[in-house]
Structure 1
Amino acid sequence: MKRLLQLTAALSLGVMSYQADAQTPFSTMDFVNINNIKASVLVHGDMWWDPVSQASQCFYPATSTKNISFAGALWMSGYDAGSQLHISSQMYRQNGNDYWPGPLDASDTLTYATSTDWAKIWKINRTTIDTFIGLSTHTVLNTSPSILRWPGKGNTYAQGNAGASLTITQDMAPFVDLNSNGIYEPLQGEYPKINGDQALWWVFSDNGPTHTESKGKPLGVEIHTMAYAYKRGTLVDNIILYEYSIINKSPNTYTNFRIGQFADMDLGTYSDDYIGFDSAHRMGYTYNGAAIDGVYGANMPVAGVTMIVLPGDAYPAYVPAGSFAYFNNDTLSPVGNPGIDTEYNNYLRSKIKTGVHFSNDFTTTGLPTVGYGSGPLTDYVFPGDPTVNTQWSECSSTNTAGDRRFVITSNDFTLSPGAVQKVVMGLISTPEGLNACGDAGFSLTGIHNLADTAWNLFLNPIAPVSVNTPTIDNAISVFPNPGHDKITVHLSGTIDGAATVSIYNTMGQLVMHGRDLNAINTFDVNNLPAGVYYLKYTNKQTQTSISFIKQ
């Protein structure tokens, strides 16, 4: 079992406090489990673990007990008009919880009674919706409970934890509103609006009964979350997407606001991991530092967290990640576990626990690096390709492998009262293979291709397989991919006079444009720098996009 650092006395006092106030936290969880990854989500905003057993609940392959991650959660912080820090984060509940299940009320608070009623995760499969759509009439008896009790606005049948009746007067879980009256009416044929072949929805807030994990001031935010996945027998089966909608319910305008995804990516054995950062995909990833893993053996995957949507994005332009920081499972080092609000905040802002900015201390192959103390300042640690020993990575530094945690963040922005910010994150895993540092066949190509697929999957959701939908006249493919000098773009269907192909780099800059198209088109990409590009095809009726790699 993974060892969690904790102060036993503090934890005991915390449990006593919960019991005295009748505010015991909830262990309610459910799983995204339709494809090759099986991963838990919990009502306190954490994920990928079980707080009761203290064991990982994020498995690849899904039918195994091999784990690719141990824990994850959303972190965020900002400053009010008086320059006071407000922050919310979640790790292992060792000091309690910053997030509690349920929405905020009109006074920007969440009571324990309300939290109890909302301590539920609503789960539905696409096949259930398809069956419902096929019914000629809808009654309480023939409507699936997952549709009937969905927490949509105004649903008189909505139910929460332990069957609690919910009165929902604000927008909550999304639904298909057939009569456009803003009320969810399942017996009128309305149903949950989801992406994926399976989706889970839940809501949590940070101004609940307690706010003790970070020991900071709450922000007064409400977070609506949907996790979803596809099962199609392709690369998409190795992806889970998480969409967060973060609503500022407080009267405060927060400046220098940052949102980050914390991840404790334990790849098999927790104590032998390396991490790295891929700026093109805003992705943190983990790979093995040891040739033989105690769980996977000699063949292990590479797993990653890619930030597909961040504040500041304006498709097709994407902003770089604000920072990629790391820390270890210890309490004494400058890059150890955070314990108070300022330490959590430092990791959100390219700083080590003590407030010193991270720096690139890589000088030569084989010399261990820690990311602080010497070298130029940097916002991203370990950004190099671990298969290239002249680039800064844990592998080229021959660091001692360990129990790493990382945080990927947005840039600073202003969060006004009532504002809603969307963040989309993808959890991805390559198939098992020779993927340890030093393995002859080790390459990042697989995780890069998966990240491309995850981004494209969000931008172009796959149509349900069991629903008869008209063929969209915009099919596009690229060959070869990766490409070197030239790529061939195949277009199917009707190609009208307005059809164009535009190629963008990962910063959203237009680098190539084509019109007067045919079914087969050749583009000279010889002068483009190596990297990931996005090709967008547009005609009079619709548009679609696909990624390709220039080598």
Structure 2
Amino acid sequence: MRKIVSLFLGLVVVSTSVKAWNNPTKSAMGSSSLQAKAAGCTPATGRKILEFNNVSALIETGGSMWQDRSKNDAAYEVPKGSGERVIYAGALWMGGLDVNNQLKLAALTFRQGNDFWTGPLSTIPGTGNLNLGYLDYGPAEIEPDICVAYDQFYITTRQEIELFNAWYECSQDPDCDVNVDFPGYSIPSSILTWPAHGDQSRFQDFYLAPFYDRPGSIPGVYDPDGGDYPWYDLAGEIDCRTNRKVTLYGDYNMWWVFNDKGNIHTETGGDPIGMEIRSQAFAFATNDEINSMTFYNYEMINRSTQTLTNTYFAVWVDSDIGCSEDDYVGCDVQRGLGYSYNADAVDNDGCNGAQAIGANPPAIGVDFFEGPYQDNDGLDNPLTTDISLAKANLGIPYQGLGIGYGDTIVDNERFGMRRFIYYD
């Protein structure tokens, strides 16, 4: 079964790996007659600084985060403009066993090689079943020109979508005059060029980036002239406790799509999975602690013909709180939080050219707060302090280890942090 896996990561302001685990209960499918092959994609080059609030964080379309590889320098700065950098690098890790018990793996550390390339993978239309939680699958291939075409971020803001929605609703209201209420307004290119659909002539999934399909517009087809827009849930229609649809999040959002089939894995040397990853990096502008946080969402779709078992998803984080050789890492099990902090009250040891923070250095935290959905079992798995009962009923003993447990809703449980590993 080729499941859709959605992960939410919150970064709060080690080398650590925070993991979530998903072990599908259905048996793996055998090999298909469709032969996988490595495409000839060149390494992704897209990069953009997420700097909407108090954080400056460099993101690359090729899967690497928070590292300025051109300068061999850290690129996660809080407060923005201070020169105080607290993370050197980070990336998404994933791996599992196929039907032949062979490891499939995609991961990065400092991106000295490549395991990820941009663009959506090919499928066989009609093979998926949304009611069972998976999308179309098939060859899971990609051509070099598609990798190049998708080597970019698609950037939107909630404010511009709200303005577009208000303008469009005014245009449909006989008592509202757009020339008076919205003088000179034109639909921004971010809405007009939104990648809502894949190219079906290239066997891509027809539905790609999420969009709001306004009643009365062309059903199922992205139509900005008919009022459709990149899908921020403006009306609050999606109840995340029961609805698994992925919308756009944050006040500022960077959306992109990448995969692990664009070429040979030169970072890990692992066999490719056939994973398509629809990604969001986003931030909120607020007057509280959230203004110093960034967030990331990954919708991971196994497009290959094989189910993986014993599957892990992880976020690898190499934290350098100013100087790199005087930091400690740990985890708070009850909160499901990985963290890193300076060894003493003054950051000044082992700087190796980095800017020291000095007195009272901050701590940082990584919260894997919405991991993969737990396999359906017809139960509301419990949240209970009785650890034996939690284990016996696939529940959790601490609220920070997942969401949807003990909330009276059946089969909406999502893993939080399941492992914390120090990696050096």
TM-score normalized with structure 1 length: 0.50
Is this contact kept in 1: 2:275–2:301, CA < 8 A? yes
> What is the 5 A alignment of 1:59-138?
59-94=77-112, 96-106=113-123, 107-135=139-167
Q: 1:319 to 1:187 in 2, by over 3 A?
A: closer
> What is the 5 A alignment of 1:495-514?
none
> What is the 5 A alignment of 1:134-145?
134-135=166-167, 142-145=186-189
Distance 2:141 2:316 in 1: 25
Q: What is residue 213 of structure 2 aligned with on the other side?
A: 177
For 2:81, the aligned partner's letter is: T
Partner of 1:70: helix, strand, or coil? strand
Partner of 2:312: helix, strand, or coil? strand
Q: 1:320 to 1:143 in 2, by over 3 A?
A: closer
Partner of 2:94: helix, strand, or coil? strand
Q: What is residue 147 of structure 1 aligned with on the other side?
A: 191
Distance 1:322 1:58 in 2: 25
Determine whether 1:240 maps to 2:294.
Answer: yes
For 2:187, the aligned partner's letter is: T
Partner of 1:281: helix, strand, or coil? coil
Q: CA deviation at 1:254?
A: 0.9
| Structure 1 residues 110-148: Cα deviation after superposition (integer angstroms, max 9, x where no partner) | 22221111100111122222222232999x981111111
For 2:213, the aligned partner's letter is: D
Q: In structure 1, which of residues 218, 230, 237 is the aligned counterpart of residue 272 of structure 2?
A: 218
Q: CA deviation at 1:24?
A: 4.0
Is this contact kept in 2: 1:154–1:183, CA < 8 A? no
Is this contact kept in 2: 1:38–1:57, CA < 8 A? yes
For 2:418, the aligned partner's letter is: G
Is this contact kept in 2: 1:39–1:48, CA < 8 A? yes
Structure 1 or 2, whichever has the larger Rg, is: 1
| Structure 1 residues 472-504: Cα deviation after superposition (integer angstroms, max 9, x where no partner) | xxxxxxxxxxxxxxxxxxxxxxxxxxxxxxxxx
> What is the 5 A alignment of 1:348-359?
none
Partner of 1:196: helix, strand, or coil? coil
| Structure 1 residues 38-62: Cα deviation after superposition (integer angstroms, max 9, x where no partner) | 2121111111112222222211002
Q: 1:292 to 1:45 in 2, by over 3 A?
A: same
Tell me the percent identity: 33
Q: 1:116 to 1:208 in 2, by over 3 A?
A: same
Distance 2:74 2:229 in 1: 33
Partner of 2:104: helix, strand, or coil? strand
Q: What is residue 251 of structure 2 aligned with on the other side?
A: 197
For 1:78, the aligned partner's letter is: G
Q: In structure 1, which of residues 311, 326, 330 is the aligned counterpart of residue 422 of structure 2?
A: 326
Q: In structure 2, which of residues 345, 354, 360 is the aligned counterpart of residue 299 of structure 1?
A: 360
Q: CA deviation at 1:167?
A: 10
Q: 1:152 to 1:88 in 2, by over 3 A?
A: same
Q: In structure 2, which of residues 50, 65, 69 is the aligned counterpart of residue 51 of structure 1?
A: 69
Is this contact kept in 2: 1:27–1:51, CA < 8 A? no
> What is the 5 A alignment of 1:90-489?
90-94=108-112, 96-106=113-123, 107-135=139-167, 142-153=186-197, 170-179=206-215, 181-193=219-231, 194-294=248-348, 295-313=356-374, 319=415, 321-328=417-424
Q: 1:97 to 1:301 in 2, by over 3 A?
A: same
Q: CA deviation at 1:168?
A: 6.9
Determine whether 1:38 maps to 2:56.
Answer: yes
Where does structure 2 lack aligned partners over 5 or more consecutive residues?
Answer: 1-38, 124-138, 168-179, 232-247, 349-355, 375-409
Q: 1:224 to 1:318 in 2, by over 3 A?
A: closer
Partner of 2:211: helix, strand, or coil? coil
Partner of 1:187: helix, strand, or coil? helix
Distance 2:330 2:117 in 1: 31
Q: CA deviation at 1:304?
A: 1.1
For 1:183, the aligned partner's letter is: V
Report 1 or 2 for greater relative contact order, CA contacts < 8 Å, sequence distance ≥ 6.
Answer: 2
Distance 2:208 2:276 in 1: 11
Q: CA deviation at 1:232?
A: 1.7
Is this contact kept in 2: 1:112–1:209, CA < 8 A? no
